Structure 1
Amino acid sequence: MPFDALTEATLRTFLAAFYEKVRRDGLIGPVFAGAISDADWPRHLATIQDFWSSVLLKSGRYKGNPFGRHQALGRLSPAHFARWLGLFEETARETFSPEVADMLVERAHRIGDSLKAGLFFRPAGIPAG
């Protein structure tokens, strides 16, 4: 039964289910596997929980730089973002009521659009890199 409220506990459940899908995915799973060892996944999930808790629940726990972390990977493409967002939306709709899922998906798209703009937008005449 879908959750009707977004709390730390329901967010944790959602993120665990979502990142299980991510890790198994043929397109984005290898990117994550190359950046995060199996032993580091619990720590990574805690960081991700802090990020989304800060964004969605205003907890203020996340103090990192998500743009810098994604930029350091160096091998991301718009297709990676599209797949990530597709899995995010699928899992949100499986986990939460439509109202909560819509809010999560909208926020994920805004964050994804911001990251993509920073990673892939190059004004004319400015070389990449």
Structure 2
Amino acid sequence: MPDPTLCTEQEITGLVHQFYGRIRADETLGPIFEASVDDWDAHLVLLVDFWSSLLRGTRRFSGSPMTKHAALPDLTADMFRRWLAIFHQCTAELDNAAMRSEVEAMAGRIANKLWANYQGVHGTGHPGSHQPA
């Protein structure tokens, strides 16, 4: 459940910018994001709004992450695992332990949902397919 006292907007902004800076520099994930994001400034604002809505209940986010991710070609469970690994690197550096715990749990659920949806859309799911988290 969102909690406006869990963290500050500055903490969310810092995490989002640090994380996507690392994603953009990643040799596997960077090219995928660079090919699909036209305006990084606007995208980062959207992502801060997304995490703010989830963590603090601000309700600023509107959009369809499932649709956007499902439209990307050739994603794999390993890519989602890499996304999570980089995310966990960034959250490990957070001073706010409560935020770290909550955001890590959310990221795992989000990655699993996005991957399950992706498999359904692309017909890549099969019995025993691995979840990213």
Equivalence for 1:127: none
- Structure 1's consecutive aligned runs of 4 or more residues displaced over 6 angstroms after TM superposition are none
Q: Which amino acid aligns with 1:16?
A: H
For residues 80 and 34 of structure 1, the distance between their equivalents in structure 2, rounded to whole angstroms, comes to: 15
Does the residue aligned with 1:94 lie in a helix, a strand or coil? coil
Q: Which amino acid aligns with 1:43?
A: A
Equivalence for 2:30: 29
Deviation sequence 1:2-35 (CA, Å, 0-9, x none): xxx5111110011111111000001101100111
For residues 70 and 120 of structure 1, the distance between their equivalents in structure 2, rounded to whole angstroms, comes to: 11
In percent, how many aligned pairs have the same letter? 31
70-79 or 57-66, larger mean C-alpha shift: 70-79
Deviation at 1:123, TM superposition (A): 6.3
Name which structure has the greater RCO, CA cutoff 8 Å, separation 6+. Answer: 1
Deviation sequence 1:74-94 (CA, Å, 0-9, x none): 221111110110011110111
Q: TM-score with structure 2 length normalisation?
A: 0.82
Equivalence for 2:9: 8
Structure 1, unaligned runs of 5 or more? 125-129
Equivalence for 2:114: 115
Q: Which amino acid aligns with 1:115?
A: L
Q: Which amino acid aligns with 2:91?
A: A
Q: Which amino acid aligns with 2:95?
A: F
Equivalence for 2:82: 83
Q: Which protein has the bigger helix share? A: 1
Deviation sequence 1:40-75 (CA, Å, 0-9, x none): 100000011111111111111111000000011122
Does the residue aligned with 1:73 lie in a helix, a strand or coil? coil
Cα RMSD after superposing both structures: 1.6
65-74 or 115-124, larger mean C-alpha shift: 115-124
Q: Which amino acid aligns with 2:98?
A: E
Structure 2, unaligned runs of 5 or more? 1-5, 128-133
Does the residue aligned with 1:76 lie in a helix, a strand or coil? coil
Q: TM-score with structure 1 length normalisation?
A: 0.84
Q: How many positions carry a matched residue from both structures?
A: 118
